Amino acid sequence: MNDKLCNIHKYDARKIDKLIKEPIVDVTVTSPPYFDMKDYGYKEQIGFGQSYKEYLNDIGTVFKSVYACTKSTGSLWVIVDALRKDGEIVALPFDIANKIREAGWIFREIIIWEKDKTVPWTHKGQMRNSFEYILMFSKTDDYKFFIDKIRDYEVLKSWWIRYPERYNPKGKTPDGIWHYPIPTQGSWGKGYIRHFCPLPEDLVARILTLSTEENDVVLDPFSGSGTVLAKALNMNRRYIGTELNSEYISMFKNYIKNTNTEKQSEYEKEKKYLVNQMDFEKIILQLRALKYARILLKKIDDQDVRIVQKIKVEKSSEKCLKKNSVDCYKYTILLSTLKEKEKIEKIINALISKAPLSKFGIDALFSYVDKIDKLISPKEKLYSYSNKITHKFIRGINLDDRINEKEVILSPIKLDIDENEYKEL
Ligand SMILES: C[S@@+](CC[C@H](N)C(=O)[O-])C[C@H]1O[C@@H](n2cnc3c(N)ncnc32)[C@H](O)[C@@H]1O
């Protein structure tokens, strides 16, 4: 492997394009040194002993070089706080954002990182400082952004079961306020690192999950204690860092040597969350498909049409053709007579083109039969549902069983969901 990858270099971030001469970086995640704040203890440091203009120009130079070594699908995430000078706010995040835009980056997102506490605690005439900005930029319009991987599906309550058509089957879309407590001094890295302002590991993990895949290259030009690089390593990504303070560099190396095995296995466990998320998505879509049949039956009933006896619901292997549909299902309708097939077809077409059925995201393919043995094949095992509840089957049935009037929906889909279990979440 190229020795530049998976390494932290004692190197000036302003010259990063000399260190990385090709566009190989997938994501840069960094918190730059703040203006006039901290003395990191060496003369080339950005932000200390400089005018604000010099400082911003240096920041601009760094992100211009980062742009040059980033892939066209790459992104840049900058974590930065505003500051006060002589009682007045310095709009540092926005001044930095402008410098970054001048360097060619496209400004995509502002996320608020809400922290529990930070210094200074409070001052006369000021609110407690409780958040920082996460500014996100891309190099082109074609940037990696895997939003589905960070959807929260565990926030589901019982209404997901009753109203599966209302929510994204992959989970809730994350919003732009992220809550992560700041690591307390000494807690981060079990004593391996002592740094002024390490980033929370989980915050970095979320950004890396959103913006990269395994084996991608992660850059942090202002590595500090190396939170970003360590997380990249834990998550099977490659990394490059630059930092001028040798003490931080050796602390970082010591840290990963002692913790990576444990952190990597934590990451492997967390990957299972995505598998669970996919199972959950499948259930939501099945809930929708069965509820679709239930609502359709009710609407037909409301029109006083009494020839529909049962509906069989099956997943179709056909590709969805309808715009905005998420899944395709076959609905086979058992009629008491096929003579009125055209009439019922018309009614159904009118019903499914209007809300609520048009909002289910289901591409429904209908067919009609007039005999139960045309609905159920001899060896087929199905589950029956009533016209009131479609998240819990009544019983398993086959062609030989007497199917009673209440069992109006039949399907190979077996749903047995206890609403109370989900209320706990
Ligand atoms: C805000 S801290 C980064 C903290 C880091 N994100 C973490 O989690 O620990 C900024 C870092 O930039 C470094 N730095 C300042 N000027 C630099 C330069 N010209 N080149 C590389 N690193 C620099 C400082 O030494 C400091 O460690």
Residue-wise pLDDT for 386-413, tens only, equals 999 999 999 999 999 999 999 999 999 9
Amino acid code (one letter) for 95: D
Q: Are residues 31 and 129 in the same domain?
A: yes
* Nearest CA-CA partner of 260 in 220, 218, 214, 229: 229
Tell whether 158 is covered by a domain.
Answer: no
Which pair of structure tokens corresponds to residue 227? 């939170």
* Nearest CA-CA partner of 186 in 196, 171, 173: 196
What is the per-residue pLDDT for 425?
Answer: 43
- Best substitution site from 36, 45, 64, 229 to test ligand 1's pocket, by max atoms within 8 Å of Cβ? 45
> Separation of 223 CA from ligand 1 center, angstroms?
5
> Separation of 40 CA from ligand 1 center, angstroms?
8
**Banded pLDDT at 3 (limits 50, 70, 90):** low
Tell whether 72 is covered by a domain.
Answer: yes
Separation between Cα atoms, residue 32 and residue 172, nearest integer Å: 32
The residues, ordered by sequence, that sit 6+ positions from 94 with a Cβ below 8 Å of its Cβ are none
Tell whether 304 is covered by a domain.
Answer: yes
Percent with pLDDT over 70 in the chain: 89
Residue-wise pLDDT for 284-323, tens only, equals 899 999 999 999 999 999 988 889 999 999 999 887 777 7
Q: Are residues 224 and 324 in the same domain?
A: no
> Separation of 13 CA from ligand 1 center, angstroms?
9
Query: What is the pLDDT averaged over residues 348-360?
Result: 94
Tell whether 157 is covered by a domain.
Answer: no
* Nearest CA-CA partner of 308 in 360, 347, 278: 347
- Best substitution site from 38, 134, 192, 222 to test ligand 1's pocket, by max atoms within 8 Å of Cβ? 222
Which of the given ranges, 14-28, 32-46, 157-171, has the highest pLDDT on average?
A: 14-28
C-beta of residue 40 within 8 angstroms of C-beta of residue 48: yes
CATH number at residue 191: 3.40.50.150
Query: What is the pLDDT averaged over residues 205-226?
Result: 96
What is the per-residue pLDDT for 94?
Answer: 96
> Separation of 224 CA from ligand 1 center, angstroms?
5
> Separation of 373 CA from ligand 1 center, angstroms?
73
The domain boundary, picked from 214, 244, 274, lies at: 244
Strand partners, 83: 90
Atom of ligand 1 nearest to the CA of 12: 20
Residue-wise pLDDT for 41-85, tens only, equals 777 889 888 899 999 999 999 999 999 999 999 999 999 998 888
- The sheet with strand 308-315 has its strands ordered as 362-369, 327-335, 308-315, 409-411, 382-385, 396-397
Higher pLDDT, 176 or 85: 176
Tell whether 151 is covered by a domain.
Answer: no
Tell whether 276 is covered by a domain.
Answer: no
Query: What is the pLDDT averaged over residues 120-144?
Result: 84
* Nearest CA-CA partner of 297 in 329, 337, 333, 328: 333
Tell me 416's DSSP state: B
Residue-wise pLDDT for 10-19, tens only, equals 999 999 999 9
> Using a 6 Å CB cutoff, which residues line ligand 1?
12-14, 31, 33, 40, 44-46, 195, 197-199, 222, 224-225, 227, 242-245, 248
Higher pLDDT, 274 or 303: 303
Q: Are residues 135 and 237 in the same domain?
A: yes
Q: How many domains does the chain have?
A: 2
**Which stretch of DSSP H or E encloses residue 288?**
helix 246-302
**Banded pLDDT at 1 (limits 50, 70, 90):** very low
Tell if the pTM clears 0.85, that is, is over it.
Answer: no
Per the structure, the complete domain to which residue 88 belongs is given by 7-144+176-244
The domain boundary, picked from 244, 268, 303, lies at: 244
Residue 189, Cβ neighbours under 10 Å: how many?
A: 23
**Interhelix angle 92-102/52-68, nearest 10 degrees:** 40
